[in-house]
Every structure is written in structure tokens, then in C-alpha cells.
Amino acid sequence: MREQLAIEGGKPVITDALPTIKNASGRLFGQEEKQAVLEVMEEGILCYTYGQRVRRFEREFAGLMGANHAVAVSSGTAALHTAMVYLNPDPGDEILVPPITDMGTVIAILLQQAVPVFVDIDPLNQNMDPAEIEQHISSRTKAILPVHIYGSPADMDPIMEIARKRDLFVIEDCAQAHLTKYKGRLVGTIGDMGCFSFQQSKHITTGDGGMVISNRDSEFGRELRLCFDKGWPRHKHVRDHYFLAPNYHMTELQAAVGIAQLAKYPACIERRRESAFLLRDLLAEEDAIRPPGTLPDCEETYFHYCFTFDRSRMLVDGEQIVASLNAEGLECELGYPGTVPLYMYPMIRDKKTYGSSGWPFDSPAARRIWSYDEGLCPEAEKACRRTVVLPWNEGLTEEHVNLIAAAIRKVFSAYKAAGDADGPLVADAAGCWPAADQRKRHTEGLENV
Ligand SMILES: *Cc1c(COP(=O)(O)O)cnc(C)c1O
């Protein structure tokens, strides 16, 4: 007889709270951050314009990334919007973006009156599929905005090749991919600009906050610093405003925390990777589960630990699986950014933007009237229904991961249909799926949603 699940009244596997990013238990906060904030208060300079700490945080972040420029801003969404202000599209111009990301990615596009054009994902890693890009390029396309989702890099080589050939700008959304490596290079330094978030759930945090990095020279586009500072050339010591731009200053308090957090980056990444690899190994025999897929020669940094399951081997759907995992004491959700891709939320589907105008989806400036219906990106829609999203953090120990694996195994063995198994999938030690047959098996059998 199978073990009684907690959702049916059985005993939950996890009874004590696991570490979480929602408080200090899952974060690397210490005396350093506390001291840094106190120093700012004692000096009495809280604002970026008069202080030195935001500048120092920018310099140190740029140094770590090997980027020519870094500007700190108030959020990840602000970072992406700052990049859009720099790009300066005409209203109705088009930006290619994946539908599996945080809404902040798309908000940045809409705030600049540009149109998000959704490119379907590669089911392996749920990032923008390079093979799907060219069919969406038009005379109005200005940029490609790949997102490195869950800490796993998008396939940047083919994306950059298309962008160079078609003269498009590339903005990388690295909000979930701090220190993620694509073939030896840090993400954020491959495209024209990279955007980061320091919101509380990201790898390092300033509460809220963000950063834009670039290796371009400042001759291209508008000067980056003006793009989040009211178009104001403060270095000229006169009041002037060159163009429309928001105020997205980071405060000195946030930067003080950010500088202290930078020192903890390596430990954060190492711990997340170590515990994620452990979970992957503990679930290796669970053949209805597909572990996170990473491209060859890449390093994933595990913002979330997301696995997909083979619906054809399960007796119940994703909602039931997740509800059962929750009952076992494991915090997780079905799908990211939810059970549907972004374009099915009212903001986009119902064009809830500027008054009743429907801008920019439905405006004289746009090339056509844009609509976003179910079926637009079939792979993304399927992924949202078969992905279990476990929030990950650097506070997880071996003991915690053992409990997480036990909860998952309990639920999956209770709900798994009898039948032939192919045997487990095997990734290499770095968590990548190098072989084509392994890659194929990672995604097949997932059609039956
Ligand atoms: C968090 C996040 C953002 C937005 O960052 P905020 O700081 O929350 O505004 C954008 N894109 C992705 C992929 C994110 O995870």
C-alpha cells in the first residue's frame, strides 16, 4: 500500500519551515550590511546625487562583470526601462521578448510605447528559442530582449548572429541570472546591454534595486546616465533636460547594502549550485521528472529550481501535484510566471495600458493591430502547465534538500501510472545536457498536457 499523502490526511514530510528568501533565513545578511547602513545614516547622505556609495557599487559591479559601464537604478524593471530609454524606439516599434519572464520585462517595453512581440521558447530551458526569432522580425523591429530564465542562459550565439545580421540591439534580462555563464562568458556582457535586479528574491539584494551594464561606448544612443535621471546632464553643473526620462535613482542606503552583498556573491552562487545538483541527483531515479535543462558549456546559477514532469506518466494534473507538494510542507508553484504565459494576463490581452487608448498595441503608430490570444506561443503555454517551480536559496543545507527530495518522491510515486520507464536522464557533472539523444528525451513525452 502506498504511503498516505498529507493532502489525504497523512503526515507531512516537512514539518519545520525551510529557509526562504522572504526573510534572513535564506539570505546571506550579516554584520557587514548592518554596519554599512549605519554609516550612511551617520554621514547623513542618503541620496545618490550627493553621495559616493552608489558610484562605488556601480564601479565594483562593472569590475566584477568586466563591463565598461554600470548604472544603478531602483529596480529590475527600472533597469530594463532605462535600457529602453537609451534605445529610444519610436512609438509602435517592436521588441522581441519571450513570454516566460517577469512582467517587469514587458512593462519596460510598454512604458516606452513599444510593442512586445512574443517569441516562443525552447522547451529544454524555457528560454527564447533562436529558431523562432526570424519569423517575427519586421521593418519595425528594434531589439531582441532575451531573458536568462531561472538562472539558465539563453542560447546567445545564434541570437547575436541574427541581431548582427539584421542590425538589431540586444538587451539581456539577467534579473534571474546573476553570474550565470554562457560558454565561459558572463551573461549581461554578451549583448549590447545587460539588466539586473536586486529585489529581495534575487541572488544578491538591496531590498529593491537594479543595474544596467554595457560594453558599448557612450557615443551610441543616448548617454546612459541621463536615461534614469530626468535627462539631466548633472556633470555640466547646469540645470538642463535633454529628453524625456524617469527618475530611477538607487539610494545610498541600498548601495551600502549592495556593496556588502557583492562580497557574498561567490558563496551565494556556490551554495545554490551545490544544493541544486544534490536535488537533481536525489531525483535521478524518478523517471517522470525532467530536471532543469542547461545548454552545453554553460553554468546555471539556480534562481529557482524548476523541473518539468511527464504528464503522460502521471495520474493527476499539475494543480494536484503542486497542491500535494504544498501539503507535504514544500513551497512551490505550477508554472512561471503562473499557469499561463504573460500575454494571457489582462495588462496585455485586454490592452490595459494608457486610458482607454489601447496604446501601443492599437495605435496609428503601430504597424498593425496587435492581439494576444491563447495559442500564440504553444511551447510556453505547455511549459506553464507542466513545470513545478521551487523557489531556491543559499540557506538550503543537505538536510533540507533531503527533505525536499523525499516530499517530491512521495508525491510522484503516489501519482505515477504504472508502465515502462526509459530509465533516468543523465546530465554531466555541470548539470548540462550535452548529447542530442538526451536532449530529445528531455522534451519528448511532454506533449500530453
Ligand atoms: C525580477 C525580475 C524582473 C523585474 O525586476 P524587479 O526588480 O522586480 O522590478 C525582470 N525580469 C525578470 C526575469 C525578473 O526575474
DSSP collapsed to 3 states, 70-98: EEEECCHHHHHHHHHHHHCCCCCCEEEEC
Domain boundary among 247, 263, 279: 263
Neighbours of 229 (CB within 10 A): 22
- Are both 253 and 301 inside the same structural domain? no
Output the average pLDDT for the chain. Answer: 93
Q: Is the CB of 180 under 6 A from ligand 1?
A: no
Between residues 439 and 397, the one the model is more confident about: 397
Confidence bin at 219 (pLDDT 50/70/90): low
- Are both 159 and 284 inside the same structural domain? no
123 to each of 56, 120, 299, 322, how far by Cα in Å?
40, 9, 18, 20
Residue 426 lies in a domain: yes
State the greatest distance between any 2 C-alpha atoms of the chain, in Å, as a whole number. 79
Residue 304 lies in a domain: yes
- Among 74, 80, 100, 102, say which to mutate for ligand 1: greatest number of ligand atoms within 8 Å of CB: 102
Q: Is the CB of 74 under 6 A from ligand 1?
A: no
Active-site pick, 142, 202, 410, 416: 202
Cis peptide before 266 (omega within 30 of 0): no
Q: Is the CB of 214 under 6 A from ligand 1?
A: no
The alpha carbon of 208 and the centre of ligand 1 are apart by a number of angstroms equal to 10
pLDDT on residue 438:
62
Domain boundary among 263, 296, 312: 263
Helical residues (DSSP H) of 363-448, grouped into ranges: 378-386, 398-415, 436-443
Q: Is the CB of 275 under 6 A from ligand 1?
A: no
Q: Which residues contact 238 (CB under 8 A, 6 or more apart)?
A: none
The alpha carbon of 77 and the centre of ligand 1 are apart by a number of angstroms equal to 6
- Are both 244 and 274 inside the same structural domain? no
Helical residues (DSSP H) of 222-317, grouped into ranges: 252-262, 265-282
Taking the C-alpha atoms of residue 107 and residue 76, their distance in angstroms, rounded to an integer, is 11
Q: Is the CB of 104 under 6 A from ligand 1?
A: yes
Instruction: Encode pLDDT of 141-184 as tens digits.
Output: 999 999 999 999 999 999 999 999 999 999 999 999 999 999 99
- Are both 173 and 225 inside the same structural domain? yes
Strands 94-97 and 115-118: parallel
Cell 541574427 locates to: 162
Strand partners, 116: 95
- Are both 55 and 196 inside the same structural domain? yes
Confidence bin at 449 (pLDDT 50/70/90): very low
How large a percentage of the chain has pLDDT more than 70?
92
**Which atom in ligand 1 lies closest to the alpha carbon of residue 101?**
13
Q: Is the CB of 254 under 6 A from ligand 1?
A: no
Domain boundary among 246, 263, 280: 263
- Are both 183 and 284 inside the same structural domain? no
- Among 103, 173, 201, 303, say which to mutate for ligand 1: greatest number of ligand atoms within 8 Å of CB: 173
- Are both 248 and 272 inside the same structural domain? no
Q: Domain containing 410 — which CATH number?
A: 3.90.1150.10
Q: Domain containing 80 — which CATH number?
A: 3.40.640.10
Residue 355 lies in a domain: no
The structural domain count of the chain equals 2
Taking the C-alpha atoms of residue 284 and residue 427, their distance in angstroms, rounded to an integer, is 10
The alpha carbon of 193 and the centre of ligand 1 are apart by a number of angstroms equal to 15
Give Cα 416 distance to the centre of its chain: 31
Q: Is 202 a catalytic residue?
A: yes
Neighbours of 319 (CB within 10 A): 12
- pLDDT above 90: residue 194: yes
Confidence bin at 216 (pLDDT 50/70/90): confident
- pLDDT above 50: residue 89: yes
pLDDT on residue 287:
86
Residue 422 lies in a domain: yes
Residue 295 lies in a domain: yes
Residue 94 lies in a domain: yes
- Are both 422 and 273 inside the same structural domain? yes
- pLDDT above 70: residue 367: yes
Residue 213 lies in a domain: yes
Instruction: Encode pLDDT of 345-365 as tens digits.
Output: 999 999 999 999 999 999 999
The residue whose CA has the least distance to atom 6 of ligand 1 is 76
Q: N- to C-terminal Cα distance for the chain?
A: 28
Residue 245 lies in a domain: yes
pTM: 0.95
Three cell numbers at 161?
A: 548572429
pLDDT on residue 448:
43
Q: Is the CB of 94 under 6 A from ligand 1?
A: no
**Which atom in ligand 1 lies closest to the alpha carbon of residue 208?**
7
- Are both 131 and 57 inside the same structural domain? yes
Confidence bin at 424 (pLDDT 50/70/90): low
Strand locations in 134-288 (E): 141-144, 169-173, 181-182, 185-186, 193-197, 210-214
The residue whose CA has the least distance to atom 1 of ligand 1 is 175
- Are both 275 and 159 inside the same structural domain? no
- Are both 234 and 383 inside the same structural domain? no
Q: Which domain holds residue 299?
A: 6-24+265-339+378-443
- Are both 225 and 167 inside the same structural domain? yes
